[in-house]
A and B are shown apart, each in its own frame.
Chain A
Amino acid sequence: MTGPLLHIEDLHVDFHSRKGETNAVRGVSWQMGREKLGIVGESGSGKSLSVRALLGLVRPPGEVRARRLELDGVDLRALSARQWQSIRGRRISMVLQDPRYSLNPVMRIGDQIAEAYLAHHDVSHGEAQARALDMLAAVHIRDPERVARAYQHELSGGMGQRAMIAMMLMPEPEILIADEPTSALDISVQTQVLSIIDEMVTSRGMGLIFISHDLQLVASFCDRVLIMYGGRVVEERLAKELPTATHPYTRGLLACLPRLGERRESLAVLERDNAWSREVEAP
């Protein structure tokens, strides 16, 4: 693990609407290097928004503010559209949740994947297509030619997600964000897709930000874990040290998970405390 790649300090994402202002992300700070970082939280905790801010995908009426938002020295706070084009894909990439919606329905899969490479490398279409086929094979798709010629609706969930992973790895980014990559898939397929992500990330020495609502999954998969609640990071731990977490929310989450061989009278219920979403440090 080399030095930190991403620096986030005091990140805020606010939404202005007629009903008032919503503070979706409130003063989040963390760093990461070429490691596997998991972000866990329930819906509305701000986990997806904080990484979308990293890619400049928060559009008005959303507003992003931060004291520091850097990728390897590049300030991500005030980039032009053209500058974003060189960061997105090339340096940070993102696998979205549901391939039924995140893949273009009227473009062939192979073209979509090749496009990801062509956007950042000056090669012929033929070569990009060939690379796309290689990448499809690398994510363990058995008949890459057929899949490359197919449209999104002809693929199963698992295949679609693997195509998505292939697409996002084509431009060879340094960091891959996976936003609930298996939540839309059948259980049987989830493990496969996860292992592919693991394999790809490790073999290329990339950083991974893995977002999920499933604490157990993240703990088994990542090196470090961030727990988010109400727009804040309430806990930051190495994955193997999770059982020794101190924050009541984390403890609550851990207690909710039933384990084999355990004797329990009743399942624990997560208690929430409003105090966790209030300011911890003074600005």
Chain B
Amino acid sequence: MSLSTWLLTDTPRSRAQARLGNAFLSATTLLSNRLTLIGLVLVLSMVVAAVFAPWLATQDPLAQSLAERLLPPSTMHLMGTDQLGRDIFSRVIYGSRITLTIVVLVAVIVGPLGLVIGTVAGYLGGAVDTVLMRVTDIFMAFPRLVLALAFAAALGPGIDNAVIAIAITTWPPYARIARAETIVLTGSDFISAIRLIGASKSRILIGHIAPLCISSVVIRLTLDMAGIILIAAGLGFLGLGAQPPAPEWGAMVATGRDYLIDQWWVATMPGIAIFMVSLGFNLLGDGLRDILDPKLR
């Protein structure tokens, strides 16, 4: 029996086999969709670029060379040079580190925060639920970019402030999702059974309910990631993200703006990088949602 037949059989002999089979089916469905595959490749490229930056970048991203300023793309400088003679390609590669940092930090804050608030509100119900959901609703009605702008304006520029500002405005939908799932799960028989055995509330929440909500949160995170990257780039464009000389993509577009007419590459290249990574996350997120949401199959 070949491996794929074993994985796809209708009568798995063990839990491990069933799980592996599901994972295999999801993976093949995911990868069979060309667009999702492209998305995955784009996202992985960013991760690879960030991790292996020192090896992939052709030059030092901070090295200035006024003799070589504003050169068009060539074999020496794959994306040309900026107004201080720095190699744009290397700066874009190193810039992926900043993007990855922001993405990971926001995800790590927003996911668990939303999960905790949502599951607690959904499980405990009553006054706790009402209060938490009111707070969530209030935050959900706030405009993201503008608030992030205001926050970053007050706290001062810098990546950490940008991350906080973005996280504060991004968490509400996750709380809502987690709460909706928790409510459905709380009514199910197996939770009642666990309760009868005498499991404590925290054990039920942490051990049983939260893990089941994770997949929805992850899908939503992937779908939101593009928006988060765009907001971060927007903040960078306005000078509120990582400060020069750090090669933050949004900031690079801003400096390139002054040279747009004759040296279009200075602003265009980092913009393409932002676009590619956002696109990658969107494609990947769409693909993930298609597999994990059976309604749309």
Q: How far is the CB of B246 from chain A (nearest CB, A)?
A: 46
- Does A18 sit within 8 A of B, measured CB to CB? yes
Q: Give the chain B neighbours of A259 by CB distance below 8 A.
A: none
| B243 contacts A by Cβ under 8 Å | no
Residues of B close to A18: CB separation below 8 A: 25, 28-29, 32
Q: CB-CB contacts of A1-40 with B at 8 A, as 1s and 0s?
A: 0000000000000000011000000000000000000000
Question: Which 6 A/B pairs are nearest by Cβ-Cβ distance?
Answer: A19-B8, A18-B29, A18-B28, A18-B32, A18-B25, A19-B25
CA distance A19 to B9 in the complex (A): 9
Contact code string B26-60 (vs A, CB < 8 Å = 1, else 0): 00110010000000000000000000000000000
Distance from B27 Cβ to chain A, minimum over Cβ atoms (Å)? 12
Offer 6 A-B interface pairs, CB within 8 angstroms, sorted by A. A18-B25, A18-B28, A18-B29, A18-B32, A19-B8, A19-B25
Q: Contacts of A19 on B, CB cut-off 8 Å?
A: 8, 25
Interface size in chain B (residues, C-beta < 8 A): 5
The answer for the CA separation of A18 and B30 in the assembled complex, in Å, is: 12
State in angstroms the CA–CA spacing of A18 and B32 once bound together: 10
A6 and B25 alpha carbons, distance in the complex (Å): 42
Q: Name B1-40 residues within 8 Å CB distance of A.
A: 8, 25, 28-29, 32
**Chain B interface, DSSP helix/strand/loop, else mixed:** helix
Residues of A within 8 A of B25 (CB): 18-19
- Which residue of chain A has the shortest Cβ distance to B8 in the bound complex? A19
Closest to B29 in A: A18
Q: Contact residues of B with A, CB < 8 Å?
A: 8, 25, 28-29, 32
Residue of B nearest to A19 (CB): B8
Residue of chain A at shortest CB distance from B32:
A18
User: What distance in Å separates the Cβ of B203 from its nearest Cβ neighbour in chain A?
Assistant: 37
Residues on the A chain within 8 Å of B29, using CB: 18
How far, in whole Å, are A19 and B29 apart by their CA atoms in the complex? 10
List of A residues within 8 angstroms of B32 by Cβ:
18
In whole Å, how far is A141's beta carbon from the nearest beta carbon of chain B? 35
* Residue-wise interface mask of A (185-225) relative to B, using a CB-CB cutoff of 8 A (1 in contact, 0 not): 00000000000000000000000000000000000000000
Inter-chain CA distance A19–B8, complex, in Å, is: 8
Name the CB-closest residue of B to A17.
B297
A residues near B28, Cβ cutoff 8 Å: 18
Cβ distance B45 to chain A, nearest Cβ, rounded Å: 27
Smallest CB–CB gap between A53 and chain B, Å?
22
Q: How far is the CA of A19 from the CA of B32 in the complex (A)?
A: 13
Q: In the complex, what distance in Å separates the CA atom of A19 from the CA atom of B4? A: 11
Shortest Cβ distance from residue B130 to the other chain A in the assembled complex, whole angstroms: 28
Bound form: Cα–Cα A18–B29 in Å: 8
A274 CB, nearest partner CB in chain B, Å: 15
Taking CB atoms, residues of chain A closer than 8 Å to B8 are: 19
- Closest Cβ of chain A to B32, distance in Å, is 7
Q: How far is the CB of A54 from chain B (nearest CB, A)?
A: 26
User: Which chain A residue has the least Cβ–Cβ distance from B10?
Assistant: A19
CA distance A157 to B28 in the complex (A): 43
- How long is the Cα–Cα vector from A192 to B28 in the complex, in angstroms? 51
Q: How far does the alpha carbon of A202 sit from the alpha carbon of B7 in the complex, in Å? A: 54
Instruction: For residue B293, give the distance in angstroms from its CB to the closest CB of chain A.
Output: 16
Rounded to whole Å, the gap between the CB of A56 and the closest CB of chain B is 23
In the complex, A48→B66 CA distance in Å? 77
Closest CB-CB distance, B17 to chain A, in whole Å? 16
Query: CA–CA, A198 to B32, complex, Å?
Result: 51
Question: A18 CA to B25 CA in the complex, in Å?
Answer: 9
CB closest chain-B residue, reference A20: B8
Flag A45-63 by CB within 8 Å of B: 1 or 0 each.
0000000000000000000
C-alpha gap A65/B289 in the complex (Å): 33
CA distance A211 to B14 in the complex (A): 39
CA distance A19 to B7 in the complex (A): 11
Q: In the complex, A19 Cα to B25 Cα: how many Å?
A: 9
Min CB distance B61 to A, Å, is 45
B30: shortest Cβ distance to chain A, in Å? 11
Assembly CA distance A18 to B28 (angstroms): 9
What is the distance, in angstroms, from A230's C-beta to the closest C-beta of chain B? 16
How far apart are B9's CB and chain A's nearest CB, in angstroms? 10
What is the minimal beta-carbon distance from A232 to any residue of chain B, in angstroms? 21
With A and B bound together, what is the CA distance between A18 and B7 in angstroms? 13
- What is the CA–CA distance of A19 and B28 in the complex, to the nearest angstrom? 11
Q: Complex Cα distance A19/B22, Å? A: 12
Please give the distance in Å from B186's CB to the nearest CB on chain A: 26
Roughly how many angstroms separate A18 CA and B8 CA in the complex, as a whole number?
Answer: 10
* Nearest CB of chain A from residue B239's CB, rounded to whole Å: 49
